[in-house]
Every structure is written in C-alpha cells, then in structure tokens.
Amino acid sequence: MRIARALAIAAGLGLAALTASSGAQAADQGGVTVDSIKKAGVLRVGSWLQYKPEMWKDLQTGEIKGFWIDMARKMAADLGVQVQFIDSDWDGLIPGLESGKFDIVLAQMAITSKRALAVDFAKPWEAVGLSAVVPADSTCVTIQCLNSPDKTISTEIGSVDQDVKKAVFPAAQETANKGHNDGFLQVMSHRSDAFLTDNVSAASFAQEHKGAVKVVWDGVTQPFLEAFPGGPALPKGSLDFARWVDTWLQEQINNGTYESLYVKDIGWEPALKELMLQRGGYPQ
C-alpha cells in the first residue's frame, strides 16, 4: 500500500510538473520575441488607420502617416527588419494579436486591466485623456446638460469612450461607431450632441475645421473626463519583447527622436512630464 501510494504521489507530482512545463512552453510559443522578429525579417504592426494625426491613411496618395506610424518605422529600422502595416477595425486589433496576425499593435490603445487579460502591454507611449467634441454653437457643455435622455453621445465601438459614456452619461442615448470620423461628422451635422474621443485627435480636428466644433474637457482649460496612458499591445507571452520595446522607447525620448516626430506629426509638443510619470520614471 505504501509503495502504491508513493508511486501515485510521484505520478501526480510528475504530471503537475509536466503540466506546468507545457503551460510555460505554450506561453513561450504564443508570444513574440526580438529573435522571432529578426528571423522573420519583418515587424507586423496592427493599427487602425483612421485616427488622424496619430495613425492614418492619406486616401489621396495612399501613404500611411502619423506619429505612431513613424515610431513603428524607426523601431523596425533599429531592429534591422522591414515593417508591415496591417489595417484593422478597432474591435479586431486584440483578436488579431490573439490569432498571431500581428507582432504588435500601435494604435494609441488605452492600457486597461480588462485588456491586459487578453494581451501584454509595454509601458505607455503617450499620455492622453478623454475629451468631448461638441458643435461650435453648442451651449450644452456640462456633464449635467449632456447626461439627459434627450441628448445623444457618439462613441467608438470597443473603446474606453464607451466605458466613460456609461459611467458619466448614463442617462444619455449612445451612438456607437466603427469609424472614428463618424463621430466628428455626427457632431458637425448636429445628429449627436457630443463625441467622446482622445484629446489629441479632438484638438487636431478642431484646428483643421475651425468654427465647426469645439473641444471641452480638453485637459488644458478643464480636466479630462478620464486621463489614460496609451501604449503598445503585444500577444500574451511577449514580455521579453515588451521589455525591449520599453528600453527602446526610453532611448527615443532621451535622444530627442520622440519629441521631434511628435511635433512633426501632431503639431505641438508632447506631454513628456506626464508620460515619464506614467512610465515610472522622472519627469524630463
């Protein structure tokens, strides 16, 4: 009996060890590494090319542009590989990582605990916040006014916008869009009373369409509706690559490349002090 019991315990321990080993191997196989990217000779970047000026496609020239795009090109060059941009619907970005379609998602994705259950995140690349875009002639620019059953708020499907809408404006109606520009157009045509989006694209659109819209909760004259860090997402098990990305991004901040590309693509200086605090470092 004792021998049989000992053998059973040993078998159980062996099975547990084998299961743990298999789990570790599965995690390794599911992740992306610097070596795997170098061997493939290409960095596959998933993005949502509707988010001017962060990442977008010029429909006249076909050129892919934006701050996150230029940073991806610099990353691939430093890795010594080609870069491939793969356009996706916003709600297809995380499934694309899970299925192995992308090596990394660069799309100003908000880093949240819910998303971290499905993907790994590197440290933040951009300190941004949620603003509201309203018609230029609107006098409804308070939470109390917009949080009403006779008001309609536009959001983007699968974004933090929808979470904030539910939390801050629960009484208002919601129009959820797959296209980023749809929210702006609905506000301009007065079909929506507000569009929730990040402060960078909001400010850029307002500058480009002067007199058509205005931005509230912009983080300058008013606090954001919600401040959040945007960062790269990677397949689960890619912590080795995430650590390299963190180190690489810090070098781009230190040598001035980050600020130079940001000013070129966005049009104003980045919030480096806030970004460095979010990354766990000292302000610049």
Residue type, 228: F
The pLDDT value recorded for residue 4 is 41
Q: Using alpha carbons only, how large is the chain's radius of gyration in Å?
A: 22
Give the integer Cα–Cα distance in Å for 198 and 36. Answer: 33
Band the pLDDT of 283: cuts 50, 70, 90. low
Question: Could you tell me if 93 and 233 are in contact, meaning their C-beta atoms sit under 8 angstroms apart?
Answer: yes
pLDDT in tens, 11-33: 343 433 333 332 333 334 569 99
* DSSP letter string, 23-65: HHHHHHHHS--HHHHHHHTEEEEEE-TEETTTEEE-TTT--EE
Tokens of 278: 């979010």
Average pLDDT estimate for 204-227: 95
Q: In the structure encoding, which two tokens stand for residue 209, read together?
A: 């369409």
Q: Which CATH superfamily is domain 31-127+229-278 in?
A: Periplasmic binding protein-like II (3.40.190.10)
Q: Identity (one letter) of the amino acid at 143? A: I
**pLDDT (tens digit, 9 = 90+) per residue, 153-211?**
999 999 999 999 999 999 999 999 998 999 999 999 999 999 999 999 999 999 999 99
Burial 182-207, CB ≥16 within 10 A → b, else e = bbbebbbeeebbbbbbbbbbbbbbbe
Q: In the chain, where are the structural domains located?
A: 31-127+229-278, 129-226
Q: What is the pLDDT of residue 82?
A: 98
pTM given for the model: 0.86
Q: What is the pLDDT of residues 94-109, one digit of tens each?
A: 999 999 999 999 999 9
At the fourth CATH level, which superfamily is domain 129-226?
Answer: Periplasmic binding protein-like II (3.40.190.10)
Residue range 264-270: average pLDDT? 97
